[in-house]
Amino acid sequence: KNEVEQSPQNLTAQEGEFITINCSYSVGISALHWLQQHPGGGIVSLFMLSSGKKKHGRLIATINIQEKHSSLHITASHPRDSAVYICAVRFSKYSGAGSYQLTFGKGTKLSVIP
């Protein structure tokens, strides 16, 4: 059982639409990352969260620690936002060298159509 679940798996949106991608996890975490992967394969770190909310430009990330859930929102979506968005968590249960481990969701493939 994958301990990090993302939804939806695929998402197609019209340019300008508001987009939400969800991530849920099974046990306590020390940090959650939202990552963006473009077709070439490279990964960009968008946010690292341990509580609350962060905003960068048109991107907003929120996390609810009690509900073990995070969302990534994109306002006024644009075709250049088309990418795979990956949620990755650092579980609190790991210590020492294991505390650096990230567990990755399977990703959400977003396509924004002009």
Partner 1 sequence: SAVISQKPSRDICQRGTSLTIQCQVDSQVTMMFWYRQQPGQSLTLIATANQGSEATYESGFVIDKFPISRPNLTFSTLTVSNMSPEDSSIYLCSVEVFDRAERTFGSGTRLTVV
Give min distance, CB of 104 to partner 1, in A: 4
- Using the contact rule CB under 8 A, the part of the chain among 12-20, 53-61, 66-74, 86-94 near partner 1 is 86-94
Q: Does 9 engage in binding with partner 1 (CB under 8 A)?
A: no
Query: Which CB, 40 or 114, lies closer to partner 1?
Result: 40
Residue range at the interface with partner 1 (CB under 8 A); choices 16-24, 55-63, 65-73, 103-111: 103-111
Q: Count of alpha carbons within 13 Å of 53, Cβ hemisphere only?
A: 4
Q: How many CB atoms lie within 10 A of CB 114?
A: 7
How does DSSP classify residue 28? Answer: -
Task: Decide: helix, strand or coil at residue 82.
Answer: coil
| Nearest one of 19, 108, 6, 23 to 65, comparing CA atoms | 23
Q: Which residues are near partner 1 by CB under 8 A?
A: 30-31, 33, 35, 40-45, 48, 86, 88, 90, 97, 100-102, 104-107
